[in-house]
C-alpha cells in the first residue's frame, strides 16, 4: 500500500496513520457492526481517503454479513479451485451454472444461500466433488482439465482413507451413537471429549485445535463438513470400526454420549459460555464478534483438571455430576 496520500486540508501529499474503530453499516436493509480501519493525516490529523483501506472495510463488512447469514466466505470460495486443481470456468460448468457464475463469486459477488450450500459441500467433501466431476466431464472443453482435477481429488481421497485422524474416528462414533445430534451439539461433544480425555487419561485425543466462535468452541474442518445441516440432525452416518479403539477411550466416549449429548446444542453452547477456555480466549470481544482465535490446549487442560478436582471425579461416569451442575446454572 502506498503510504503517501493527498490531504484536502493540508493541500499536499502527506504520510498517514491507520486506526481501527467500531463501526456499523447497512447492507440489504439491515445494520451490521464491524471493525473498520480509518486513515488520518500525520500532519493535521484529519481523515483522508485511501482506496485500499476503503476496499478492505467493504470486504470486512461483507465478511460479517456472510458470517451472520451463513454464506460461504470469500476465502473458502477461492480455496475450491486450488484444492481440486480446476479452473474457474470448468468448475462453474461442473456445478451446472453459467460459465461465468463461479468467476463472479470468486471475484467477490455474493452467492445465494442455495449456491452457497453447494459450494460448502464441494469444499468439504472430495467424494461429492468427484461425483460432480465424473457426471459432468462431458461438459468440460478439455480432457486435460478433467484428468488433472481427477488426479488431485483422488489424491485427497486416498489421504483421507489411509490417514484417517483420531477425530474422524470419534466423529463417526458419536454420529453412530447419537441419532439426533446436530452440527452444534457435535462440536461441543468433541470439545468435551478432548477436555475429559486429557484429565482422565493424560493426553489430548485430537491434534486439531478448536476456535472460540460466537456459539462456543468449534473445530473448523468439522464445521465445514456438516454446516449444510444447520440446526437439523446429521443423517449421514457411517458405522465406525471400533475394533482398534482402546477400551478406556470407548468408556469415555460412551459417557460423553450419555451425559453430554443428552442436552441440546444450544444448551451445550450455554455451558461453554460459562467456562474459562472460551471466555479467556475471546477476551474483550463483543458477544456477536466473529473470530478465529484458537483456544490453547493448555487452557483446556487446566480448566478440565480443575473440574475433575472440584467434582472429585474418579471415572468418566462422573461427567454426569458436572453436566447436571452446569445445567442448573442456566
List the CATH number of the domain containing 11.
3.10.20
- Asked if residue 121 lies in contact with residue 75, where contact means CB atoms within 8 angstroms, the answer is no
Given pLDDT bands bounded at 50, 70 and 90, which one contains residue 324? very high
Q: What is the mean pLDDT of residues 24-50?
A: 92
Residues 187 and 295 in one domain: yes
127, 162, 197: which is the final residue of a domain?
A: 162
Distance CA 263, CA 327 (A): 9
Residues 63 and 81 in one domain: no
CA 288 from centre of chain: 15
Residues 192 and 123 in one domain: no
Residues 228 and 274 in one domain: yes
* pLDDT of 309 strictly over 70: yes
Residues 49 and 114 in one domain: no
Residues 63 and 102 in one domain: no
Residues 214 and 268 in one domain: yes
Residues 270 and 214 in one domain: yes
The reported pLDDT for the residue numbered 146 is 87
Residues 133 and 101 in one domain: yes
Range of the domain at 11: 4-69
162, 189, 215: which is the final residue of a domain?
A: 162
Strand 4-7 and strand 30-41: pairing? unpaired
Number of separate domains in the chain: 3
Distance CA 74, CA 76 (A): 5
The reported pLDDT for the residue numbered 164 is 54
Residues 155 and 174 in one domain: no
Q: Which of 179 and 49 is assigned the larger pLDDT?
A: 49
Residues 220 and 293 in one domain: yes
Residues 112 and 144 in one domain: yes
Instruction: Give the pLDDT confidence of 290-301 residue by residue, as tens digits.
Output: 999 999 999 999
Question: Max CA-CA distance within the chain?
Answer: 76
* pLDDT of 169 strictly over 70: yes
Mapped to the 3 state alphabet, what secondary structure does the chain carry? CCCEEEECCCCEEEEEEEEEEEEEEEECCEEEEEEEEEEEECCCCCEECCHHHHHHHHHHHHHHHHHHHCCCCHHHHHHHHHHHCCCHHHHHHHCCCCCCHHHHHHCCCCCCHHHHHHHHHHHHCHHHHHHHHHHHHHHCCCHHHHHHHHHHHHHHHHHHHHCCCHHHHHHHHHHHHCCCCCHHHHHHHHHHHHHHHHHHHCCCCCCCCCEEECCEEECHHHHHHHHHHCCCCCCCCCCCCCCCCCHHHHHHHHHHHHHCCCCCHHHHHHHHHCCHHHHHHHCCCCCCCCCCCECCHHHHHHHHHHHHHHCCCCCHHHHHHHHHHHHHCC
Instruction: Give the pLDDT confidence of 211-258 residue by residue, as tens digits.
Output: 999 999 999 989 988 887 888 898 756 677 777 788 899 999 999 999
Q: What is the mean pLDDT of residues 92-105?
A: 92
Comparing CA positions, the residue from 55, 17, 57, 51 lying closest to residue 37 is 57
22, 45, 69: which is the final residue of a domain?
A: 69
Window from 17-31, 88-102, 120-134, 228-242 with minimum mean pLDDT: 228-242
Amino acid at each position: 500500500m502506498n503510504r503517501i496520500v493527498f490531504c484536502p486540508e493540508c493541500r499536499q501529499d502527506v504520510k498517514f496513520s491507520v486506526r481501527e474503530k467500531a463501526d456499523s453499516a447497512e447492507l440489504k436493509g439491515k445494520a451490521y457492526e464491524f471493525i473498520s480501519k480509518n486513515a488520518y493525516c500525520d500532519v493535521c490529523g484529519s481523515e483522508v481517503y485511501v482506496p485500499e483501506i476503503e476496499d478492505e472495510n467493504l470486504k470486512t463488512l461483507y465478511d460479517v454479513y456472510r458470517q451472520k447469514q451463513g454464506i460461504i466466505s470469500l476465502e473458502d470460495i477461492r480455496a475450491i479451485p486450488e484444492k481440486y486443481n480446476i479452473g474457474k470456468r470448468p468448475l462453474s460448468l461442473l456445478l451446472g451454472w453459467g460459465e461465468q457464475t463461479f468467476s463472479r463469486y470468486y471475484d467477490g459477488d455474493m452467492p445465494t444461500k442455495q449456491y452457497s450450500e453447494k459450494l460448502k459441500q464441494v469444499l468439504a467433501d472430495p467424494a461429492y466433488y468427484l461425483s460432480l466431476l465424473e457426471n459432468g466431464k462431458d461438459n468440460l472443453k478439455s480432457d486435460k482439465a478433467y484428468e488433472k482435477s481427477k488426479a488431485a481429488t483422488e489424491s485427497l481421497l486416498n489421504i483421507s482413507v489411509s490417514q484417517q485422524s483420531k477425530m474422524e474416528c470419534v466423529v463417526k462414533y458419536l454420529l453412530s451413537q447419537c441419532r439426533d445430534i446436530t452440527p452444534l451439539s457435535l462440536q461441543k461433544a468433541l470439545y468435551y471429549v478432548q477436555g475429559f480425555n486429557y484429565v482422565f487419561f493424560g493426553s489430548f485425543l485430537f491434534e486439531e485445535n478448536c476456535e472460540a466462535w460466537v456459539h462456543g468452541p468449534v473445530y473448523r474442518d468439522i464445521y465445514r463438513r456438516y454446516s449444510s445441516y444447520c440446526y437439523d440432525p446429521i443423517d449421514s452416518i457411517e458405522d465406525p470400526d471400533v475394533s482398534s479403539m482402546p477400551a478406556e477411550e470407548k468408556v469415555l466416549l460412551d459417557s460423553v454420549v450419555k451425559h453430554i449429548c443428552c442436552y441440546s446444542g444450544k444448551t451445550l453452547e450455554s455451558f461453554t459460555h460459562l467456562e474459562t477456555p472460551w471466555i479467556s480466549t475471546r477476551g474483550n470481544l463483543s458477544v456477536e464478534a466473529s473470530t478465529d482465535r484458537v483456544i490453547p490446549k493448555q487452557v483446556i487442560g487446566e480448566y478440565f483438571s480443575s473440574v475433575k478436582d472440584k467434582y472429585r471425579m474418579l471415572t468418566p461416569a462422573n461427567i454426569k455430576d458436572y453436566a447436571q451442575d452446569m445445567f442448573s446454572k442456566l
